[in-house]
Homo-oligomer: A and B are copies of this chain.
């Protein structure tokens, strides 16, 4: 992803999460947006908004092929948080369909948790991106809570513990919501250049592009601010330019 971002001069990851609709229409809209927007983005992120109605090995794979034609890496935002036996199968299916990376929740833990996901990813040379602090209002309830550090026995914050796991487990990315720029700054001070920060929540959710980039976000995940814009290409270009000129 890094070389695509550098070559194209963009750090925008398109979140293709169209609202409910007939499958055929969802596929058409998705294809249309991707065709318009691809010059301004460095990756494509897909979520259950497309997987459930279109089917992974059906409509979603068509979108993945289009992304590949355009030279775009693809991320499945499945937020894996099941037992290892199931997590492994989930990761295998998404990688088999063509995704380059999956997003997972470190809350589920390592042993019989995310270890199998990292193993599958490593064997197939794909990526695992960990949730560290999400972008919604309720995020402080879990991601922001104070927890006891098992090593020091002192208090720490959940997202600080998750950032540490991202380092320990050699994750390929960490998600921190653009709606909490001070958390991006804190997480970036832990991860430095070892694990890049992906930041969702600019636009529809209220996050500020400049503040997120200044705080240390390497990639901005943008959905509705592009997909619902009257001119998605123009919106993507504008957001790219704001992010590039921080």
Interface residues of A (CB under 8 A from B): 17, 19-20, 23, 47-49, 51-53, 55-58, 77, 79, 81-86, 89-90, 92-94, 105-115, 134-142, 145-148, 150, 155, 158, 205
Contact = CB atoms under 8 A, between A and B. Distances in A.
A121 to B, nearest CB: 16
A145 B142 contact: no
Contacts of A19: 89
A148 B83 CA distance: 26
B89 A49 contact: yes
A245 B196 CA distance: 55
Nearest to A112: B136
Contacts of A108: 134, 136, 138, 141-142
A20 B134 contact: no
Contact of A93 (B53, B79, B140): B53
Given A49-B86, A84-B138, A108-B134, 17 more contacts: A17-B86, A48-B82, A52-B56, A58-B58, A81-B105, A83-B134, A107-B142, A108-B136, A110-B138, A112-B138, A113-B137, A113-B139, A113-B141, A145-B148, A146-B148, A147-B158, A148-B155
B136 A84 contact: yes
B155 A137 contact: no
Contacts of A17: 85-86, 89
